[in-house]
Amino acid sequence: MIILEDLIKFSDGVRMIMILHRGKEGGTKDEPQHSAHKKITTNTDEFFKVLDEFKDIKSKSKLPLRIYSCVNKRSIKKAIREFKTRQLDIDYADEREHKLFYLDIKNRWISCLMKPSCREETFFLIDIDDNKVVSIADTIIYAKRKLEELDIKIICTYLTKNGSHIITKPFNPALWDNDLGEIKKDGLLLLDY
């Protein structure tokens, strides 16, 4: 998991934190916990307060829950513009869609905030999963060497349940070898599993 020193770098500004039961681990969208636990924070103190709250929920759950946060700060101004656009568009939808939009307003807002065009900064997350051919440790070494060759700044590296995440400054994805890991231009940090 990500260590506190590195996590502090990704706790300031507007962030979304969520706790969920992943589909890969038996979760479904019909479960209340799948969508009920998403919160927006605006500073480091709020971030860690919500993280502690979610860790408490996770510790009491019988389900294998995971806690995620966005790697990039979000822009409220950009998200408001996106939300207003969607709000105007829904005026021309059928009555059912119009009603659903407003009955699910919190998730609609979070969806706008999490749209890649609504990020305030840009970090890439390289997701390295166990590929059964080369060990995770070797893949991490190869990935770091490739990043070094490309002169790409690594912000942090941490282990996940099935591999590792490497957070970097943005770079040209065409230069990357996808066998080393998937580039997520606006990925989610795995905070706890």
Whole-number CA gyration radius for the chain = 18
The DSSP string of 85-144 is HHHHHHTTS-HHHHHHHHHTHHHHHHHHHTSGGGBSS--EEEEEE--SSS-HHHHHHHHH
Do 171 and 151 share a structural domain? yes
Distance (Å, rounded) from C-alpha 64 to C-alpha 39? 19
- Note the pLDDT tens digit of each residue in 115-160: 999 999 999 999 998 766 678 888 899 999 999 999 999 999 999 9
Q: Is residue 56 domain-resident?
A: yes
Four-CA torsion 111, 116, 118, 121, nearest 10 degrees: 140
| Domain span including residue 103 | 76-118
Number of domains in the chain: 3
Q: Enter the tokens of residue 168.
A: 């970097």
List, for residues 65-109, the tens digit of each pLDDT value.
999 999 999 999 999 999 999 999 999 999 999 999 999 999 999
Task: Verify that 168 and 142 share a domain, yes or no.
Answer: yes
User: Model pTM?
Assistant: 0.86
